[in-house]
Amino acid sequence: MRADRLLSIVLLLQKQRHVKAKTLAETLGVTERTIYRDIDALSLAGIPVYTKTGPDGGCFIEETYRVGLNWFTDSELQTLLYTGSTTLLSDLGIESVADNAILKLLSLLPERFQQQTRQMQQRLYLDPSSWYEGKDSYPTLPKLKEAVWNDTVISVEYETWEGDQKELMLHPYSLVYKSGRWYLVGVDTGREQMRTYRVARINDVVILNEQFERDSQFNIVEYWRDASEQFNRRVPEYPVRLRARPDAMIYFQHMMPGRYKVLERSTEWYVLQVTYTVFEEARTSVLGLGTSVEVIEPRELNDGVIALAQEIVDKYVAQ
């Protein structure tokens, strides 16, 4: 997390006044180039840090400077100190590290402001999990995090959608959390292209004694936006118009958020426009809701539900 790293740089410089860029890089687990970029960012933010070249060079902070939190705006403090679910940090194996970072941050505050800050933490709680979500297992995530942080080549066994096991050599660039699942973004060295891998399907991670050079033009925000748009374009759509009783609405609210629109409503019925992916998904959904829904269109779905329902009746009557 860059904010935590910037704060660590300031604290280390305040304690020692002069630290080699190489030492900072080794301490914080990044490259020297990253340290110099961080120093530039701190300087632009008004922190009196600077660098010097030569045998006695390195990173410096003005001797009279004492770090305080007055250089954080209220909004910045709220962002750093919000109380959130620790599920994601626990998955990464750094939950206690985050707790220690917050304690260090609080220790910088004058005593009279500490109670106010603790009250601030009670104003916002973020829980990234969704209701009824299934919990994937992520035993390989801490290793993947280490490899991503250190630009280290990894060998993994990956389970495909079809259930096959593939051995891959990857350059791991980024970890992404979306909709309750972790993903790894990295370069498949066999295909030499950036791809996205579901972490729950990554097994037997081996961190190799080899580092890779990142593409300096790579931007994870842009990549993920483009990849998400491409995925959404590939997902097929099967539009359906239904009449649903009020008791069926809990299904659509919890299981299909964003995929339906209420066109009409009364005390007895809702008319919905629902976007399924394929005919089979729509038929299974409608049949499972029983008499709480009726198909308005398309006709093929109505006929398909009737035919499958008849097959089910015939099967159980014959037993």
- Structural domains in the chain, sorted by start: 2-126 (1.10.10.10), 141-234 (2.30.30.100), 238-318 (3.30.70)
> Would you give per-residue pLDDT tens digits along the chain (319 residues)?
566 688 788 878 877 778 899 999 888 888 888 899 888 888 887 788 888 888 888 899 887 776 555 555 666 665 666 555 555 666 676 655 555 666 566 655 555 556 666 666 666 666 666 665 555 667 888 899 999 989 999 999 999 887 889 999 999 999 998 877 889 999 999 888 899 999 999 988 999 999 999 998 899 989 999 998 888 888 899 999 999 999 999 999 988 888 999 999 998 999 999 999 999 999 999 999 999 999 999 999 999 999 999 999 998 888 7
C-beta separation of 283 from 305 below 8 A: yes
Tokens of 251: 């299904």
Distance from C-alpha of 163 to C-alpha of 244, rounded to nearest angstrom: 37
Q: Do 298 and 319 form a contact (C-beta atoms < 8 A)?
A: no
d(CA 12, CA 5) in angstroms, rounded, equals: 10
Q: What are the Cα distances from residue 91, in Å, to 3, 48, 315?
A: 20, 37, 46
